[in-house]
Amino acid sequence: MRHFLDALKSVATIAKSFGRKTNTVQYPKVLRPRAERYRASFALLHEADGDEACIGCLQCERICPSKVIAIKGPAKRDSPITGKKRSYADDFTLDLSACIFCELCVQVCPTDAIVMTREQEEPAYGRESLVLNMARLYENEKTKTRAWGDGTKLMEMQTPPKPPKPAPVEGAPVAAAPVVAAPVTAAAVDAVPVAAAPAVPTSEPSVAPAPIIPKPEGGTP
């Protein structure tokens, strides 16, 4: 009897969901709207003057827990934009197949050179398609939508805010302002009178001679 009731519950559940509209979409032809903080890929950025922002400092490579970032460099050479010598990365490789999308590489970047993007990567038939080299990372800068965060914003969020100052209470005694000592100058030091030193005797003090006791008559007592 119990098995028969379980079967009826299963049929009732199927009947409730039978006329419901499906949520399945044909990805990647149909893309659902992503959340504002959704992030799925990476991009390398350029400076405002067009120069590469990455300086090859290896901070993102060191902090990556999955070890999916490999950088060749840094190498110092003259900038084609400003003409000044600066550091560059010769090559930048990021393997998305093992990335855990923790965004630590973005957080530690001192120049905000690497950011995450919101678009999902297209399905791949081989692992080599999931490896982002330097050219593909710079291409994502132009073709992908950036996520909201970068290194500067994420580091500011890590700094705790300062507590607000307490409001003054009516009737409470006001603390006196601390007395600040005036700086001591050389002229003030010369104006201070010097106490006279005690006189030191130049000769040894005289010692009184010991009294002479007369011996009694008749020999030794």
Domain of 151 in residue numbering reads as: 36-158
What's the domain count of the chain?
1
Residue 201: inside a domain: no
Is position 134 within any domain?
yes
Asked if residue 75 belongs to a domain, the reply is yes
Q: pTM score > 0.75 for this model? A: no
Count of C-beta atoms within a 10 Å radius of residue 117: 20
Instruction: Confirm whether 190 is domain-assigned.
Output: no
pLDDT recorded at residue 52? 95
What is the pLDDT, as a whole number, of residue 101?
93
DSSP letter at 146? B
Is 89 part of a structural domain of the chain? yes
Please tell me the predicted confidence (pLDDT) of residue 85.
93
How high is the pLDDT of residue 42? 95
Residue 87 belongs to a domain with what CATH number? Answer: 3.30.70.3270
Per DSSP, the three-state class of 93 is: strand
Give residues with Cβ within 8 angstroms of 32, minimum separation 6. 25
In a domain, 198, yes or no: no
69, containing H or E segment = strand 69-72
CA distance to 21, 43, 72, 75, per residue, from 55 (Å) = 51, 15, 11, 8
pLDDT of 48: 92
> Would you say residue 105 lies in a domain?
yes
Report if residue 177 sits inside a domain: no
pLDDT of residue 221: 45
Per-residue confidence (pLDDT) for residue 133, from 0 to 100: 95
User: What is the DSSP-derived secondary structure letter of residue 178?
Assistant: P
Model pLDDT for residues 199-221, shown as the tens digit of each residue = 555 555 555 555 566 555 555 54
Residue 181: the pLDDT is 63
Give pLDDT < 50 ranges for the chain: 221
Helix (H, G, I), strand (E, B) or coil at 177: coil
